[in-house]
Structure 1
Amino acid sequence: APGAGAGPGAGAGPGAPPFTTVVVATQERAGQLARALDSLLAQDHPRFEVVVVDNAPVTDETHDLVHRKYGERVRYLREPVPGLAVAHNAGLAGARGEVVAFTDDDVVADPRWLTELTAPFAADPRLGCVTGLILPARLRTPAQVLLESHGGFAKGFTPTTYDPRRPPRDEPLFPFTAGRFGSGANMAFRTGVLRAVGGFDPATGAGTPARGGDDLYGFVRVLAQGHRLRYTPYALVWHHHRETWADLETQAYGYGAGLTAYLTAVLVDRPALLPAFLARLPGGLAHARSLTAVRDTDGGGTPGGHDTRTHPWPRRLSRLQRRGMLYGPVGYLRARRALRDAGYRRPDADSGRETP
C-alpha cells in the first residue's frame, strides 16, 4: 500500500491529499472485513492509516485476523459498548489524521476511493465533510435488486456542494433531509470539525435500539456549525447488499427508525434548531409520505440511477418503514437510557482502546 502507515508529514506538499485515518467498525464478520481491508490497503492515497474498531466482540476472531494477516499495517481498537456510533467515536478518538474517513466492513473500495474522497478538503477550507458514491458489488438476489431499485445507497452521479449559507432552492427541508447528502459507508470529515461537534451521538446507529441515523446526525451537526458538505461520485465503494427478503424488511424498518431517531437526537442536542425544524415540518411530513409511498415495482433500471421519489418501496416495506418512523424517537430514548445505565462516556481524543 503506497501510503498505509505513512506518518502525517510523509510526502506532504501543496494541494496533496491530507493525512487520513480510515476507520472500519466491525462485529464478528472477519471474512467480510478481510475483503474490505485488502481493498483499503491497495489505495493509491499517499498518506493514510487504517483503524479497525472491534465493536462489542464475542470472540477473538477479528483481533486474531488483524494481527495475524495485517500486522502493523492496521491498528486494532476494541470498543466493548455496542453501537455503530459508539464504535465510530472510538475510532475518531484514536484518529491521527487531519481527516477521518469511515467505511463499512461489507464494502470493496475502488483503488482511488480515498484520494478522491479527501482531495476536496485540500481545495476548500470550509469543507467539513465529504461523501462519496456507493454502488452494488453484485445484484444476485431479488432483495438486492429491489434495494437498488429503491435508490440503494447512491446519491447520483453529479458532484454537489451543500452550503448552509446558501441553502439549495430545491431542498426546502435543508439541512434535515440528511439522507440526500450521503451514507455512512462512504464519508469523511475534518477530524477537528467532527471532534468539535462532539462526534456522533452514541444513542444512534446500528447495534442500538435507535437502529440507525448516526451518519445523518453527523452530517447535520457539521452543516449546523457552518461548514460545507460535498458529495463526489468519483469516490467509489462497492457495497455488498443484504441478500434475503427478511434482511430487506429489517433494513426498511431500520431506515424509518434511524430517520426519526436522528431527528430526535439533533433536536435534543441542539434545541436552537427546533424553530427551523418546526417551520419545515409540513414539508417534512410530505417528504416522509414520499419516502414510504406504495407502488408495484419490478426493480429494473441502472444501479445508482434511482431515488426514493421515483422508485418507492412495495407495500409491505412501506408499512415497515412507517412503523420504524413511529418507533425511532422511542428507540433513541431507550438507547440513551441504556448508555446511561452502562456508564458510557464519549472518549476524548487519543483515548481509543487499543489492544496489542
Structure 2
Amino acid sequence: MEHNSSSDVSIVIPTHSEKRWASLTRTITSAQTQTHPAAEIVVVVDHNPEMANRVKLTFSGVTVLENAYARGASGNRNTGAFHTRTPFIAFLDDDTVASPEWLAYQLTPFADQSVVGTGGGIIPAWAGPRPAWMPDELLWAVGVSYTGMPTTTAPIRNVWSANMIVRRDAFLAVGGFRTGFGKLGDQNRPEDTELCLRMSAAAGGRWMYVPHATIDHEVPADRSTFGFLIRRCYAEGRGKVQMAGLMPKDQELGAEKDYLRRTLPRAVGRNLTRAMTGRGAAHALQAMAVVAAVLAAAWGGGVETLAGIFESAPATTDNV
C-alpha cells in the first residue's frame, strides 16, 4: 500500500529503562522497516542520560532526545512530538513491534480532513501461555485490543498511545498529552483517552480505528497474573474518575457505560452457559474474572470519588 509522501509522518518512541533494551531494539527496527518510510524516528529517554547515550551510539539515523518535562510517559511523548515538523505524528511504545504496513494502513483515513487521529489493532505477544481465565473482553488490561472494539475501519471515541497517529495541528492546538496525568510508577491513568477527548472536542473532529494496522505488544509474565488484573482494574477505576473530573460536565463516559452494560454482561452469560454445558471449567473462571474486574474497578472508582470529596471539602476551624 502506498501513501502520498515519505515525508509526512514522524514516529515517536518513548523509553525509560535499559531493562527494555531488547524490546526497544525490536521497536526501532520495526519502525525503520515500514513500507511507508517515516521522515524521522525520534526516541525520547525519560531522565536516563546513560541510556540516551547508548541509544545514540547504537542506532544510526535515529533522533535521540531526553524528556524535557517531569518524569512520566506524557512528557516523554510531548518532548518528541513537539520536536517533529511533519503533518502527522505516530506513537509507538518501546515494547511493541509494528507490522510492515502499519503506517501505510493507519495513515489512510487522514484523507478525510475531519479525522484528527487514528489507532490500530494491538496483538498480545505473551511471554508465556495465555491465562485460561482471561476472557477476550478483558484483554485491554494488558494493553491490547479486546472484544467489543470494531472489527473493520470505523469511528471510535479513543485509541491507545501504544499505537496512535495524530494530525499535528490538532495535537498542538490542545497542548499535547496532559503532563503529570499519565503513567508513572503504579499510577495508570488514561492519558491517551483524555487526549483523544480533548482533541475531538477542540477540533470538532473524530478518531478512526484501523484494526488491520497492527502492532504486537509484549505481555510479560508478571502481567499475566490474576493479581495484576485486579490491580490494573482498580487503577483504571481511579483513573477514569480522575479523567471525568477534567472533562466538561456535559461530556459523559459513554463508551465505558456501554462496555459495562452490554459487553461484560454478555461475556459473563456466554461463559457461564459454556461452563454449564460441559465445555470446560475455564469458561467459569472467565465469568468470575469479569465479575472480579468490575468489582475492582468499582472499588477504585469509589476510593477516588471519596478522595475527591474529602479534598474539596472546606476546612473547618473551632470558634475561639
Q: Shorter-chain-normalised TM-score: which range?
A: 0.7 to 0.9
Tell me whether 1:274 sits opposite 2:268 in the alignment. Answer: no
Change beyond 3 A, Cα 1:25–1:331: farther
Letter of the 1:161 counterpart: P
8 Å Cα contact 2:137-2:263 kept in structure 1: no
Which has more radius of gyration? Answer: 2
Change beyond 3 A, Cα 1:14–1:25: closer
8 Å Cα contact 1:51-1:74 kept in structure 2: yes
Give the aligned partner of residue 224 of structure 1: 201
How far 1:147 sits from its partner (Å)?
6.5
Residue of 295, 298, 311 corresponding to 1:322: 298
Tell me whether 1:67 sits opposite 2:61 in the alignment. Answer: no
Residue of 248, 251, 264 corresponding to 2:232: 251
Alignment partners' CA distance in 2, 1:317 and 1:106: 25
User: TM-score of the superposition, structure 2-length normalised?
Assistant: 0.75
Q: Percent identity?
A: 22
How far 1:23 sits from its partner (Å)?
1.1
Give the aligned partner of residue 234 of structure 1: 212
Q: Give structure 1 stretches of 5+ with no counterpart.
A: 1-12, 163-177, 268-272, 301-309, 334-356
How far 1:149 sits from its partner (Å)?
5.0
Residue of 34, 37, 40 corresponding to 1:43: 34
Give the aligned partner of residue 281 of structure 2: none
Letter of the 1:94 counterpart: H
Give deviations 1:121-169, integer Å, cap 9, x for gaps.
2x1122111111111123733449727452432134211035xxxxxxx
Alignment partners' CA distance in 2, 1:202 and 1:332: 20
Alignment partners' CA distance in 1, 2:207 and 2:199: 8
Alignment partners' CA distance in 2, 1:330 and 1:242: 33
Give the aligned partner of residue 199 of structure 1: 176
Alignment partners' CA distance in 2, 1:252 and 1:327: 13
8 Å Cα contact 1:22-1:49 kept in structure 2: yes
Higher-RCO chain (CA-CA 8 Å, sequence separation at least 6) = 1
Aligned to 2:126, the other structure's residue is in SS state coil
Tell me whether 1:183 sits opposite 2:160 in the alignment. Answer: yes
Q: May I ask how many residue pairs the two structures share in their alignment?
A: 282
Higher-helix-fraction structure = 2
Give deviations 1:213-256, integer Å, cap 9, x for gaps.
11001111111120121111121101112423143333222322
Give deviations 1:321-350, integer Å, cap 9, x for gaps.
2222234568899xxxxxxxxxxxxxxxxx
Give the aligned partner of residue 26 of structure 1: 15
Instruction: Write the mapping of 1:1-356 to structure 2, written as runs, cut at 5 A.
Output: 15-16=4-5, 19-28=8-17, 29-57=20-48, 60=50, 62-79=51-68, 81-121=70-110, 123-138=111-126, 140-143=128-131, 146=134, 148-152=136-140, 153-154=144-145, 155-161=149-155, 178=157, 181-207=158-184, 211-225=188-202, 226-244=204-222, 245=225, 246-265=227-246, 267=247, 273-277=248-252, 288=260, 295=268, 313-328=289-304
Aligned to 2:59, the other structure's residue is in SS state helix
Show structure 1 runs of 4+ deviating over 4 A.
Answer: 142-145, 283-298, 327-333
The alignment yields a C-alpha RMSD, in angstroms, of 3.4
Letter of the 2:194 counterpart: Y
Q: Give structure 2 stretches of 5+ with no counterpart.
A: 275-285, 310-320
